[in-house]
Amino acid sequence: MCYASYVTSQIDANSVFVLPALSNAEMQSITTVSQGGLVYNSTDGRLYKYTGSQWIPIGLGASLDEDLKFIRGNVNENGTIAQGTGFTVKKLTNSRYQIDFLLPFKAVPSITFTAGELTALNSYEDNVVNIISLSNSRATVIIHDNEGENNVEDFWFSFIAVGPR
């Protein structure tokens, strides 16, 4: 005679898996951690994995060599924010904009800009964004037509800033 035993379980649709939440000091003080252990660090709001000898942050693709944060945004030609968070924009003069990061980077970030005209549809726009100044808390830019025309213009632009937390 053969007997088979099947164990089944069902997860409640309203249930969630919760990791232990520890401060940085609490996390570092644990002495009996198995390799692969996971915790939520409430000090810096990140997930950490234990390697067998140390806690390392785990993230969404950023290198473990640098603890990076990203700020991205789309800005209308009048200086209002179309999309994005973590920054404010001030239109200084014709075609000149100041972007202030609400929480400054620990060092000067790398930042890239693209200018355009949302109503241009499929036509080619040759606008250029030049960075006038850049610090860990602010970027100031000017938008103008590409070489030859050299006219400053108010235009929609987008940016991505990446730098140390």
Q: Where are the domains of the chain?
A: 1-59, 68-164
If DSSP states are collapsed to H, E and C, what string results for 38-69?
EEEECCCCEEEEECCCCEEEECCCCCCCCCEE
The yes-or-no verdict on residue 8 having pLDDT over 60 is no
Q: Is the pTM of this model over 0.75?
A: no
Q: Assign 4 a pLDDT band (cuts: 50, 70, 90).
A: low
CATH code for the part of the protein at 68-164: 2.60.40
Quick check: 30 pLDDT over 80?
Answer: yes
Q: Which fold has domain 1-59?
A: Seminal Fluid Protein  PDC-109 (Domain B) (2.10.10)
**Chain segment 91-118, per-residue pLDDT in tens:** 998 889 999 999 999 999 999 998 876 6
Closest by CA to 47, choosing from 14, 21, 67, is 21
Within the chain, residue ranges assigned H as helices are 24-29
Q: Any residues with CB less than 8 A from the CB of 47 and at least 6 apart, and which?
A: 19, 38, 39, 40, 41, 57, 58, 59
- pLDDT bin (cut points 50, 70, 90) of residue 9 is low
For tokens 């355009």, name the residue.
116
Tell whether the model's pLDDT for residue 55 goes beyond 70.
yes
Mean pLDDT of 69-97: 94
